[in-house]
């Protein structure tokens, strides 16, 4: 482990350094310095690839094409697990090649760096508190009372509303809008076009018009939360909408007012979490899945793509369909239905 601390981000590594970085066992050796992780088809001798012959976490086996591509790859080093008998080149054995490749790629691919300071074209309120180590890019707006922590990056054209608090190292990409009464923790990433803290969709019919209920609860986002592009996290009514530590949200996701997500929740593209719904730690929603409001989705539950949650989901349940039911029942029902329709066809 002694070498790891001195690895300069982005530096080429030899096989031994790679094995150490990913906590794997080197088999064979190579004088080659490696410069990046890449895919099987495009790898050159100075590149690293990863492969497993057995089933991955989702139970998927590599296709014959993929296996052939692995053997044909020009990569000089492979990250593999024990299911790969003959890697055909020097390799590093690891328990989880995907994870190892991510760790290694994160070493090689150094993110864009941003110089600290406030760009001359940014518009910053007098009483905003901006850490000297923060980078406020061109044409950003930072409103009165905002508190911007060390290492925060507002890439460009970001809007930070009144009183917003941004934790250390959080990065907001162009055209992100943060409304008032929002707190983001440390190490968050919010991508372009996403909005946080706009008022939730709360109206009462007055007899003449839809009267908006003030939404003043704001949003509280934990540490290490990553949100894709053009997503929307709405302000709570009286108390904050909450996103727990380490949640990851894809593009076009909507989290309604008063919703509460636990830790490390995964929301894939176009998911909609309706108002006041609570989602437990580690739950996973597939693309286009949605909930009605005021429900509880238990920790570790998995909602298949386009699943529609109409009632509480127990912890650990795996559900699918509209309305979403246990996925095994859902699949049995599909088979039965197909049989019924086929039989009906014969009559």
Q: How far is 120 from 156, CA to CA, in rounded Å?
A: 12
Tell which positions 267-306 bind its own copies, by CB under 8 A: 268-270, 272, 274, 287-288, 290, 292, 305-306
- Exactly one of 33, 55, 61, 204 binds its own copies (CB under 8 A); that residue is 204
Q: How far is 164 from 233, CA to CA, in rounded Å?
A: 14
Integer CA distances (angstroms), 135 to 153, 168, 201, 220, 310, in order: 5, 11, 33, 22, 44
- Exactly one of 147, 248, 318, 327 binds its own copies (CB under 8 A); that residue is 248
- Exactly one of 20, 116, 201, 326 binds its own copies (CB under 8 A); that residue is 201
Torsion angle (degrees, nearest 10) of CA 60, 104, 32, 39:
40
Tell which positions 14-33 bind its own copies, by CB under 8 A: none
- Exactly one of 175, 300, 315, 326 binds its own copies (CB under 8 A); that residue is 175
* H or E stretch covering 308: strand 308-309
Tell which positions 43-102 bind its own copies, by CB under 8 A: 57, 96, 98-99, 101-102
| Least distance in angstroms from the C-beta of 51 to its own copies | 14
The answer to whether 42 is a known catalytic residue is no
- Peptide bond preceding 323: is omega within 30 degrees of 0, i.e. cis? yes
Q: How far is 155 from 188, CA to CA, in rounded Å?
A: 13
Nearer to its own copies, 37 or 317 (CB): 37
Q: How far is 173 from 254, CA to CA, in rounded Å?
A: 18
- Exactly one of 251, 278, 317, 324 binds its own copies (CB under 8 A); that residue is 251
Nearer to its own copies, 201 or 315 (CB): 201
Nearer to its own copies, 86 or 345 (CB): 345
Residues touching its own copies: how many (CB under 8 A)?
A: 96
Nearer to its own copies, 1 or 341 (CB): 341
**Structure tokens belonging to residue 95:** 């328990």
Out of 159, 191, 257, 294, the active site residue is 257
- Backbone phi, then psi, for 333, in 5-degree steps? -60, -40
Q: Among all residues, which ones are annotated catalytic?
A: 257
């Amino acid at each position: 482990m002694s070498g790891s601390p001195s690895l300069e981000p982005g530096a080429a590594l030899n096989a031994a350094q790679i094995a150490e970085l990913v906590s794997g066992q080197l088999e064979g050796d190579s004088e080659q310095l490696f410069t990046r992780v890449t895919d099987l088809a495009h790898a050159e001798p100075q590149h690293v690839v990863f492969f497993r012959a057995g089933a991955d976490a989702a139970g998927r086996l590599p296709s014959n094409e993929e296996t052939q591509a692995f053997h044909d790859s020009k990569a000089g080093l492979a990250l593999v697990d024990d299911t790969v008998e003959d890697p055909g080149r020097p390799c590093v054995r690891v328990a989880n090649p995907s994870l190892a490749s991510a760790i290694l790629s994160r070493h090689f691919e150094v993110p864009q760096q941003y110089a600290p300071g406030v760009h001359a074209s940014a518009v910053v309120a007098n009483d905003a508190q901006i850490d000297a180590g923060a980078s406020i890019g061109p044409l950003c707006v930072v409103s009165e009372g905002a508190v911007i922590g060390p290492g925060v990056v507002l890439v460009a054209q970001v809007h930070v509303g009144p009183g917003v608090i941004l934790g250390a190292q959080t990065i907001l990409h162009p055209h992100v809008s943060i409304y008032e009464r929002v707190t983001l923790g440390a190490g968050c990433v919010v991508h372009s076009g996403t909005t946080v803290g706009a008022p939730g969709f709360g109206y009462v019919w007055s007899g003449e018009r839809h009267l908006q209920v003030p939404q003043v609860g704001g949003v509280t986002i934990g540490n290490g939360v990553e949100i894709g592009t053009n997503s929307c996290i709405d302000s709570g009514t009286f108390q904050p909408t909450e996103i727990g530590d380490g949640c990851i949200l894809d593009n076009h996701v909507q989290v309604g007012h008063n919703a509460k997500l636990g830790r490390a929740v995964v929301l894939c593209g176009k998911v909609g979490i309706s108002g006041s719904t609570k989602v437990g730690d580690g739950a996973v929603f597939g693309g286009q899945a949605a909930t009605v409001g005021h429900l509880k989705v238990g920790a570790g539950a998995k909602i298949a793509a386009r699943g529609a949650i109409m009632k509480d989901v127990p912890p650990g349940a795996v559900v699918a369909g509209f309305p979403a039911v246990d996925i095994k029942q859902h699949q049995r029902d599909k088979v039965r239905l197909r049989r019924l329709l086929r039989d009906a066809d014969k009559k």
